[in-house]
Amino acid sequence: QLISRADEHLYRARRKFIDKVEPDDVQLAADSEALVNGGRVQEGLSAALADAIRSDRVMQVYQPVVNRVNANIIGLEVGLRFSDSGPASLPERFIREESGRLGLASQLASQVLRRAVDDVRRFQVLAPDLHRVSVNISVAQLVDRDFRTVYEEVAEANPDVEVFLELDERSIRLAP
């Protein structure tokens, strides 16, 4: 229920001016922070996510980016899905923030980047004009040496695929 309320408040907050927040939103932000920082995370859920990251089992989904002029798919945006039981998936924000708390954010981002570029190749069979993929990362990953090394390796091995690194808005606000 907390996660559903978080989604509602997030979309409501986006419709407002950035500095105007209702008291309800402040409480939800505190609740969400507690969830992400372990206050309400079930140890089993956190352990299952860590295991999924370590064994490269966090699923990726793709949202197509379409050129309206010629109706061709020209890019993909990567989304993450993880569920340790049943069909419901944890919110992507939670997956990313919990992976950071676990010290696995750069490992997850590297896996996502490699798999996304590989998947672009598969999608090109259906959409030959597809040469772009957008991967969400945090500011911490942008400056992480291991992630940058993976990014450089992937870019060098795939010069015809444009990789866009989309910085997570929350990590920009929290960056020192």
Q: Spell out the long-range contacts of 141-149 with Cβ–Cβ below 8 A and sequence spacing 24 or more.
A: 141/105, 141/106, 141/109, 142/167, 144/106, 146/106, 146/110, 147/106, 147/109, 147/110, 147/113
pTM (2 decimals)? 0.72
Check residue 175 and give its pLDDT: 57
- pLDDT tens for each residue of 119-149: 999 998 888 889 999 999 988 888 899 999 9
pLDDT score for 16: 45
Give the pLDDT of residue 12.
54
Query: What confidence score (pLDDT) does residue 94 get?
Result: 86
